[in-house]
Structure 1
Amino acid sequence: MRVIIGVDWSDQAFAAVTQAFHLYHPADVTLVHGVDLGILNHPVVAQAGNVQGYDDFRKAMVDSGNQLLERAAAMVPSDVALIRKVNEIANPAQLIIDSADNLTADLVVVGARGRSRLSEVVLGSVSHRVLLHGTRPVLIVRGAARKIRRVLVAIEDRDDADRIAKWLMHHPFADPTELCVLHALVPIGVSDPYEALGTGTWWKDAERYADELVKSTADKLSNARYTVSTNVATGEPAAAIEQEAKGRDLVVVASHGRTGLSRFLLGSVSHSVVHHVTCPVLVLR
């Protein structure tokens, strides 16, 4: 398994490094640090700054990044066959995305600092941008690293279920894990007088479909490493996932690939989950 881990000097980044190895036993790890000089990257500012020690400042930032990568590399288990270190003057999120694409990474791991959804859109954050613009599966880590024992697997339809089941079987967790396969049925919001229109029959069919969906997914995931249960909840998917995620060590969801303004205006279950649950979230694509 090939993993890219974005690092900076924050506690969340170091937690992300530890969390990656609680979750998997990758053989190939790349630690990525982008040195963002902000306005100093502008050629005019840089040229003016040369007179005032710009080169020394730039070198100090790069040296600090190298020290950071050495510290992060010391956290990597000794049995990892290959460790790469990438330290460049670049936008951190874009450098992580480009590194993941260039190396055909199986997983990208980043820490999240807990900004609100609106502030992330306005101010930006590395985890937000990697999730929004990247094309690889992403593990978003909040808080301290933890052992992964109880996992919530949230599925919306058969496509979600197939993608998630394929990933979990191809990339098993490091330790035996309890999985709960969850599907949320969204109420149609009509009352009894509309029963004549057949809504009651439709709802029963939807319940049968949901029950069959979680059970068939559970069957695909049943093996020696996973103990699997199922749950069909009623409510908006993001809210149902947030409720069921309490007491879990990880949530697994699939992204439908909505990007940019449409994601912000229309919403996304995976994006909402990342912002509202307190445990790590694995977003598959």
Structure 2
Amino acid sequence: MRAVYATDLSAAIEAAMGTETCLECLERYGIGTFDLVTVTSPNVTAGMPGSDVSRRTRAALDRQRGLLEAEGFEVQTHVVRGTPHRRINGLAERVDADLVIVGSRGQSPLERRLIGSTAKNVARSTVRPLLVQRIVEREDDHEVANEHLFERVLYATDFSENAERAFDQFDRLQTATKEAMLVHVTPPARRAESDAVSDAGERLAALADDLQNRGIETQTQVREGVATEEILAAEAEFEPTTILLGTRGRSPMRRLLLGSVSEDVTARANANVLLVPPRAVR
């Protein structure tokens, strides 16, 4: 399997690539080949007199390539110019990637995390599963928020077709995941509808049985309230290493856009987020 790994050549991304446990998790997911891509500004002219932008970019990219190759991965490198999310997603489609990885840095470990503009735009337009990896900024260093990327997975579902597509990710996650929490949020207006809550509980239980049979210790919750807030509350209780969500397209005539719940959770969660877009219409 193949992953497009987006890098801005920063120390933060290098910290993630240098974390052996993270790379082992990606290997368990099935990744054997990386397409390491960095996107330069179209306004930067590498050929200007005295400019060594191209040389420095290539040297930094080769250094990061070495980190991945040292762990046994096959690596292809790409230096492209243009709008980052378009070039990253375009490469993912061109090489038929199974996963796209982007890093997201919080402003402070004590403040709510904010998804970066590149990660946000990639998420809004991706047609491939996307892992948004949290990288924590310390005073003079960086570290990943969760080394064991897929050890504890919080899966939130509204039982839609694309939520089911996101659940299929457990086919790849099962060798890396030890525990899972399955969550469905019932809107406040349906609080009195006990039949709806009971049905949701039964559907979650069926999914839990599936995961238990794969050797994943699983628990379920039917929560009541606003979806984003309840998913984040479940995160605070369960402390997952990754939140698994399906996204929704808003228009069949345009490139798929991230749904509001998925976008809010991705922006505010402390955990990594694995987003699964609707199946592309070819």
How does the TM-score come out when normalised to structure 1? 0.78
Name the counterpart of 1:252: 244
Mark the CA change 1:73 to 1:90 in structure 2 (over 3 Å): closer, same or farther.
Answer: same
Give the Cα separation in 2 of the matches to 1:94 and 1:11: 23
CA drift of 1:14 comes to 2.6
More helix by share: 1
Distance of aligned partners of 1:176 and 1:279 in 2 relative to their CA distance in 1, 3 Å threshold: closer
Match of 2:180 in 1: 179
Equivalent in 146, 165, 168 of residue 166 of structure 1: 168
Structure 2 stretches lacking a partner, 5+ long? 136-142, 278-282
* Alpha-carbon separation, structure 2, partners of 1:284 and 1:187: 26
> Could you give the per-residue CA deviations for residues 144-191 of structure 1, whole angstroms, max 9, x where no partner exists?
32214221111111424421222211x1255342011111111107xx
Instruction: Quote the residue 2:39 is aligned against.
Output: 34
Distance 2:255 2:71 in 1: 43
Q: Which of 48, 57, 71 lines up with 1:54 in the alignment?
A: 48
156 and 14 in structure 1: CA distance in 2 versus 1, 3 angstrom threshold: farther
The answer to whether 1:208 aligns with 2:198 is yes
Cα distance in 2 for partners of 1:69, 1:268 equals: 34
* Structure 1 gap segments, 5+ residues each: 47-52, 190-198
- Using the alignment, how far apart are the partners of 1:66 and 1:161 within structure 2? 40
Q: Does 1:231 align with 2:231?
A: no
1:147 maps to 148
Give runs of aligned pairs for residues 24-173 of structure 1, distance below 5 A: 24-25=26-27, 26-38=31-43, 40=44, 54-57=48-51, 60-76=52-68, 78=70, 80-114=72-106, 125-143=117-135, 144-145=143-144, 146-148=147-149, 149-169=151-171, 171-172=172-173
Q: Distance in 2 between matches of 1:225 and 1:127?
A: 33
- Residue 158 of structure 2 contacts residue 184 of structure 2 at CA under 8 Å; is this kept in 1? yes
Task: State the TM-score, normalizing by the size of structure 2.
Answer: 0.79
Q: What is aligned with 1:2?
A: 2
Distance 1:77 1:231, change over 3 A: farther
Listed one character per residue, the Cα deviations across residues 24-59 of structure 1 (whole Å, up to 9, x for unaligned) are: 211111100111144x56xxxx9xxxxxx82542xx
Identity %: 24
**1-side partners of 2:6 and 2:241: how far apart?**
21
Assess if the C-alpha contact under 8 Å between 1:23 and 1:173 holds in 2: no
* CA distance, structure 2, for counterparts of residue 211 and residue 244 of structure 1: 16
Deviations 1:229-269 (A, max 9, x none): 111111111111111112221111110123789969xx611
Determine the C-alpha separation between the residues in 2 that align with 1:4 and 1:276. 24
1:75 offset after TM fit, Å?
A: 2.0
**SS at the partner of 2:189?**
coil
Matched, 1:279 2:280: no
Structure 1 residue 77 displacement after superposition: 5.4
Shift of 1:91: 2.6
Q: Root-mean-square deviation (CA), in Å?
A: 3.0
1:49 — aligned with what?
none
Distance 1:262 1:137, change over 3 A: closer
- CA–CA separation in structure 2 for the residues paired with 1:99 and 1:168: 25
Partner residue in 2 for 1:192? none
Which letter maps to 2:264?
S
Aligned length: 254
Q: In 2, Cα distance between the equivalents of 1:281 and 1:22?
A: 18
Question: Are 2:156 and 2:184, in contact at CA under 8 Å, matched by a contact in 1?
Answer: yes
